[in-house]
């Protein structure tokens, strides 16, 4: 029995959705598409009008196991009947189990839990600053990040984000960040040298193994291996933002495994909870410099979120989902490359790892990523932009061969129509 059969594929909502009422009460912080989603099963979603969609957004790379997965339904039901929140004043067994699983399945020694990717990156920034002050003895530490990066929406993480559009009107920004070109080792080495002056010096480097919001741009292996060597020689902390690419999204458990290096610190969120809010910062023992009271989160690591995340982790293992990610990713890229060759005047490049892939449109045409996303939505396929010219494909990791073929057929139809 497929997951899709577990949820009714109907139908009209018993309470009609009122867009005007919504807009009156909710702040306008999002540019929302004009549909309201209310039901889901597997890789399918239904809106309040009963229209069905194939979901290749997955909550923006978050719904690891799709919608209404039986393992998550069982875990949610059992845990809410047991205990859902206490406080980090006490030991939380579920938190310890999740931390142990992550440690056993990564290069990390210890984990800190919070509620989102932005919070996880905030924790990494604070850890890096304390490490720079107390271990590297840098009075004014600088963290290098990349142009076109994305690390979150808090004040520190939008400062770390190397995209001015996210920073506009939020100045003064947090000091202590400097941006370099992604995958450019000469630019990075020059920055380290130039910033080493007086009380200032580079204390950490924060990068995505694959830039997600920046256009689905994979890291270069030689660049990251050289970067690891530089950090080993200088003592600079190497931090990876795995919020979007971690937890099997790339076909490996962690994005850094594609690059042949290990970070000192890395962060996770999105796919970790399969759609339930949770974030985590992982670190090797030598740089775990936090002491009690120096960082915390009221809801972070609560029994409910940790039990669900642990279920996601075990399901990835027990159902051999990483193999599916590898095969479906190859299928998706192959199909997109075929479409790209067919419409080469419209499509410039296809790139990605596993089930995070980007289709970049030609820069000299009027067509934008949002145009493709809107046209696909009308055909029953949900996609998401990654910048103005890149269409992102991030389906649930349980997506089937038939569903990938279905998505490719819709993309072909959409590009054909828009290209005429």
> Residue 13: is its pLDDT beyond 50?
no
> Residue 288: is its pLDDT beyond 80?
yes
Cα separation, 331 vs 408, whole angstroms: 10
> What kind and span of H or E run contains 282?
strand 279-283
- pLDDT value at position 283? 98
Residue 312 lies in a domain: yes
* Phi, psi of 67, rounded to the nearest 5 degrees: -115, 140
The answer to whether 205 and 231 are in contact (CB under 8 A) is yes
- pLDDT value at position 171? 95
> Residue 11: is its pLDDT beyond 50?
no
Cα separation, 163 vs 180, whole angstroms: 12
Residue 26: C-alpha distances to residues 47, 131, 154, 199 (Å):
19, 40, 20, 46
- pLDDT value at position 420? 81
270 is known as an active-site residue: yes
Q: Per residue in 19-43, pLDDT tens?
A: 999 999 999 999 999 999 999 999 9
Residue with tokens 């808090």: 154
> Residue 108: is its pLDDT beyond 90?
yes
- pLDDT value at position 6? 52
Residue 177: C-alpha distances to residues 142, 149, 180, 295 (Å):
5, 13, 10, 21
| Residues 247-265, mean pLDDT to the nearest whole number | 98
| Residues 252-278, mean pLDDT to the nearest whole number | 98
Q: Per residue in 47-98, pLDDT tens?
A: 999 999 999 999 999 999 999 999 999 999 999 999 999 999 999 999 999 9
Residue 67 lies in a domain: no
Range(s) of the domain holding residue 394: 3-62+321-419
- Selecting among 130, 252, 270, 389, the annotated active-site residue is 270
33 is known as an active-site residue: no
> Residue 172: is its pLDDT beyond 90?
yes
Q: Is the Cα dihedral 150, 155, 160, 166 positive or negative?
A: positive
Q: Per residue in 215-228, pLDDT tens?
A: 999 999 999 999 99
| Residues 354-368, mean pLDDT to the nearest whole number | 97
Quick one: how far is CA 419 from the chain centroid? 31
> Residue 200: is its pLDDT beyond 70?
yes
241 is known as an active-site residue: yes
> Residue 124: is its pLDDT beyond 60?
yes
What does the DSSP 8-state code read for residue 168? T
268 and 222 assigned to the same domain: yes
- Selecting among 56, 150, 266, 290, the annotated active-site residue is 150
| Residues 200-221, mean pLDDT to the nearest whole number | 97
| Residue that finishes a domain, picked among 294, 318, 342 | 318
- pLDDT value at position 3? 56
- pLDDT value at position 16? 84
User: Measured between alpha carbons, how far apart are the two ends of the chain, in Å?
Assistant: 41
The CATH number assigned to the domain holding 326 equals: 3.90.1150.10
- pLDDT value at position 384? 98
Residue 24 lies in a domain: yes
Domains held by the chain: number? 2
Residue with tokens 């009609």: 16
Min mean pLDDT across 15-29, 363-377, 398-412 is at: 15-29
> Residue 405: is its pLDDT beyond 90?
yes
51 and 165 assigned to the same domain: no
Indicate the angle between helix axes 93-104 and 303-318, nearest 10 degrees: 40
Assigned token pair, 242: 């795995």
What pTM value is reported for the model? 0.95
- pLDDT value at position 12? 47
> Residue 10: is its pLDDT beyond 60?
no
| Residue that finishes a domain, picked among 267, 293, 318 | 318
181 and 227 assigned to the same domain: yes
161 and 36 assigned to the same domain: no
| Residues 118-136, mean pLDDT to the nearest whole number | 98
> Residue 163: is its pLDDT beyond 70?
yes
| Residues 227-234, mean pLDDT to the nearest whole number | 98
235 and 365 assigned to the same domain: no
Residue 68 lies in a domain: no
195 and 343 assigned to the same domain: no
| Residues 194-222, mean pLDDT to the nearest whole number | 97
The b-or-e profile of 368-383 (16+ CB within 10 A means b, else e) is: bbbebbebbbeeebbb
Query: Please, what is the average pLDDT of the chain?
Result: 95
- Selecting among 39, 113, 241, 266, the annotated active-site residue is 241
377 and 345 assigned to the same domain: yes
Cα separation, 329 vs 72, whole angstroms: 24
Assigned token pair, 128: 């890096």
Q: In what order do the strands lie in the sheet with 390-393?
A: 347-353, 356-361, 390-393, 384-385
Residue 374: C-alpha distances to residues 55, 336, 361 (Å):
14, 18, 15
Q: How confident is the model at residue 4 (pLDDT cuts 50, 70, 90)?
A: low
């Amino acid at each position: 029995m497929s997951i899709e059969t577990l949820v009714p594929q109907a139908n009209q909502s018993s309470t009609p959705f009122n867009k005007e009422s919504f807009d009156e009460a909710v702040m306008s912080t999002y540019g929302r598409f004009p549909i309201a989603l209310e039901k889901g099963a597997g890789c399918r979603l239904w809106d309040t009008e009963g229209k069905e969609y194939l979901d290749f957004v997955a909550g923006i790379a978050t719904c690891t196991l799709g919608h209404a997965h039986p393992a998550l339904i069982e875990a949610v039901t059992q845990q809410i009947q047991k205990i859902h929140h206490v406080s980090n004043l006490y030991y939380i067994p579920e938190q310890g189990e999740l931390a142990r699983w992550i440690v056993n399945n990564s290069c990390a020694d210890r984990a800190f839990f919070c509620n989102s990717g932005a919070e996880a990156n905030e924790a990494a920034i604070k850890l890096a600053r304390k490490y720079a002050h107390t271990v590297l003895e840098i009075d004014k530490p600088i963290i290098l990040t990349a142009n076109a990066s994305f690390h979150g929406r808090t004040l520190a993480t939008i400062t770390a984000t190397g995209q001015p559009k996210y920073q506009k009107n939020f100045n003064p920004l947090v000091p202590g960040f400097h941006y370099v070109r992604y995958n450019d080792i000469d630019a990075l080495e020059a920055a380290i040298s130039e910033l080493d002056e007086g009380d200032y010096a580079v204390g950490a480097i924060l990068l995505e193994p694959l830039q997600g919001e920046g256009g689905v741009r994979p890291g270069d292996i030689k660049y990251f291996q050289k970067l690891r060597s530089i950090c080993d020689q200088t003592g600079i902390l190497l931090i990876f933002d795995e919020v979007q690419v971690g937890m099997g999204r790339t076909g490996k458990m962690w994005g850094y495994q594609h690059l042949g290096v290990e970070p000192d610190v890395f962060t996770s969120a999105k796919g970790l909870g399969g759609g339930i809010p949770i974030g985590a910062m992982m670190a090797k023992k030598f740089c775990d410099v936090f002491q009690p009271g120096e960082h915390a989160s009221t809801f972070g690591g609560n029994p409910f979120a940790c039990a669900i995340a642990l279920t996601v982790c075990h399901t990835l293992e027990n159902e051999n989902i990483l193999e599916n990610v590898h095969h479906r990713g190859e299928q998706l890229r192959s199909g997109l490359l075929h479409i790209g060759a067919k419409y080469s005047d419209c499509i410039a490049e296809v790139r990605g790892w596993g089930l995070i892939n980007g289709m970049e449109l030609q820069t000299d045409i009027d067509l934008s990523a949002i145009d493709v996303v809107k046209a696909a939505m009308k055909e029953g396929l949900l996609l998401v932009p990654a910048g103005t010219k890149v269409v992102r494909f991030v389906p649930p990791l349980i997506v089937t061969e038939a569903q990938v073929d279905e998505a490719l057929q819709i993309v072909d139809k959409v590009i054909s129509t828009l290209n005429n």
